[in-house]
Amino acid sequence: MTRTHAIVIGASLGGLCAAKVLSERFERVTLFERDDLPDGPANRAAVPQGRHVHLLMARGAKEFESLFPGLLEDMVAAGVPILENRPDCIHFGAAGHVLGTQHTLQDEFTAYVPSRPHLEWQIRRRVLELSNVTLVNDSVDEPVFDGQRVTGVTVGGTTVDADLVIDATGRGTRLPVWLEQWGFERPSEDTVEVGIGYATHQVRIPDGLFAEKVVVAGASREQPVGLGMLYYEDGNWGLTTFGIAKVPPPNDFAGMCALADEILPPHVAAALRLGEPIGEVAFHKYPTSRWRRYDKLDRFPEGILPFGDAVASFNPTFGQGMTMTSLQAGHLRRALDDPGESLAATFTKATKKTTWPVWTMNAVGDMVLHRAEGPMPWWYRPVGSLFDQFLGAAETDPVLAEWFLRRFSLLDNLYMVPSAKLVGRTVRHNMRLWAAEKKARGRRSRETVASAPATSA
């Protein structure tokens, strides 16, 4: 393949990351974006999810920084909160368990909390500074397939030639349809019917009422509505409530505060009640997590690659989508440097390797701990139950909590599989808790008996 011109369809986070990688390996890169792109950090019509709370995983921050050196420093200079001392700054609840994050972590890591529009803008301005990247504000009709390979795209009926086209058009990608039109198979799809609804308000809360900068209370089987609160660079809080398994979230600020009273620490819920909601509530529906299995196709045309959410979109309440996209940028770089027999096969197989562990653990959590619908492999239930035990122990064991937080942040390893040593620690910890609870119950019932009035025969 000659490397004269590459085209990227879609200039959201995925497209921007792909454009950066391509700019180092092609003479020129053209990014097509159909949406109006604001000059500064602002929400966009074509990225409706940007209005809702977005958590940037620590791994994603690292990957974005390696792609765009200086990004994190610039974000912090622009007021993006940085969490160096996580134990004081985070309240984290997952599947009905509140993790023991108040303890000192042995190996602390830094987290950054940019809003979705801010992160995209910081990245976009870097990409637009690249001398060989051009942004065209127009909608791509479709790629051009010459019977052998993709050779460009049409835009408003005009053909633009390219050696490689990247489809970064997000969840709504039409690549499966195009493949079929060109005589290829559509990819099969792995799906999980999560039935998620989001409702988000921006809120201004008076300073100094509480230390936490990230407040997450995930949903569970028993409590199918969750809440996330992130303190953003503009001094406001993003307050997102979400329902899973088609349970609707609250639809106004009063309802959100009532939910906070139920599931947040009292001092945070009380502070939220003193907050002033700004603007309107934004809503979003996310019925299905979807992984298009391009890695399983035997035949795939050269000249085009799917990227970002166009390949896999993950349950957004786990906060992983942007980080998974950042990992694909690394796969693209390595695949371009060493394409093997087929660039597409090399890239999609590498993407599969990082998607599988994260997708699978999400699916286990969704099906077993979150009441998602659909068939599941037999082993999901025992794994989910074991994980429930693990999270239960992590409530009071900081070593387990730290391990979970690091893996959840996609650091160290993408597999959420504790070592035998950690499993042993979990069992011992839960046995101790169980024994202590049994003793306390015995004491309580003895006290009740002793204080009960004597009954006469």
Q: Give the residues lining the site for ligand FAD (CB under 6 A).
A: 9-15, 32-35, 46-47, 49, 52, 54-55, 139-140, 168-171, 198, 284, 286, 308-310, 316, 319-323, 325
CA pair distance 289, 317, nearest whole angstrom: 11
The nearer residue to ligand FAD, 275 or 321, going by C-beta atoms, is 321
The nearer residue to ligand FAD, 253 or 286, going by C-beta atoms, is 286
Helix (H) or strand (E) holding 281: strand 276-292
CA pair distance 105, 399, nearest whole angstrom: 8
Nearest approach, Cβ of 49 to ligand FAD (angstroms)?
3
**Phi and psi at residue 352, to the nearest 5°:** -60, -40
CA pair distance 339, 305, nearest whole angstrom: 12
Residue carrying structure tokens 């196709």: 297
DSSP letter string over 166-191? EE--GGG--HHHHHHHTT-PPPPEEE
Assess contact for 13 and 36: CB atoms under 8 A: no
Nearest approach, Cβ of 14 to ligand FAD (angstroms)?
3
CA pair distance 64, 45, nearest whole angstrom: 24
The nearer residue to ligand FAD, 47 or 399, going by C-beta atoms, is 47
Nearest approach, Cβ of 318 to ligand FAD (angstroms)?
8
DSSP letter string over 100-161? -TTSPPSS---EE---HHHHHHHHHHHHHTSTTEEEE-S---EEEE-SSBEEEEEETTEEEE
304-306, strands of its sheet edge to edge? 133-136, 28-32, 5-9, 164-167, 304-306
CA pair distance 25, 20, nearest whole angstrom: 9
Nearest approach, Cβ of 317 to ligand FAD (angstroms)?
8
Q: Take residue 114 and report the two structure tokens written for it.
A: 């940019």
The nearer residue to ligand FAD, 53 or 393, going by C-beta atoms, is 53
Nearest approach, Cβ of 410 to ligand FAD (angstroms)?
10
The nearer residue to ligand FAD, 325 or 426, going by C-beta atoms, is 325
The nearer residue to ligand FAD, 218 or 308, going by C-beta atoms, is 308
The nearer residue to ligand FAD, 104 or 251, going by C-beta atoms, is 251
Q: What residues have CB less than 8 Å from 245, skipping those under 6 apart?
A: 194, 195, 224, 370, 371, 372, 373
The nearer residue to ligand FAD, 198 or 403, going by C-beta atoms, is 198
The nearer residue to ligand FAD, 144 or 422, going by C-beta atoms, is 144
Nearest approach, Cβ of 292 to ligand FAD (angstroms)?
12
What's the residue count for the chain?
457
Nearest approach, Cβ of 185 to ligand FAD (angstroms)?
22
Nearest approach, Cβ of 425 to ligand FAD (angstroms)?
30
10 Å Cβ neighbour count for 34? 16
Q: What Å distances lie between residue 58 and 72, 352, 438, CA to CA?
A: 11, 21, 40
Nearest approach, Cβ of 362 to ligand FAD (angstroms)?
12
Beta-ladder partners of 91: 215
Q: Tell whether the torsion through CA atoms of 211, 115, 318 and 220 is positive or negative.
A: positive
The nearer residue to ligand FAD, 151 or 320, going by C-beta atoms, is 320
Nearest approach, Cβ of 177 to ligand FAD (angstroms)?
12
Assess contact for 51 and 204: CB atoms under 8 A: no
The nearer residue to ligand FAD, 250 or 308, going by C-beta atoms, is 308
Nearest approach, Cβ of 135 to ligand FAD (angstroms)?
11
Nearest approach, Cβ of 394 to ligand FAD (angstroms)?
21
- Which residue in 312, 391, 326, 302 sits closest to 357, CA to CA? 312
The nearer residue to ligand FAD, 52 or 370, going by C-beta atoms, is 52
Assess contact for 271 and 210: CB atoms under 8 A: yes
10 Å Cβ neighbour count for 388? 18
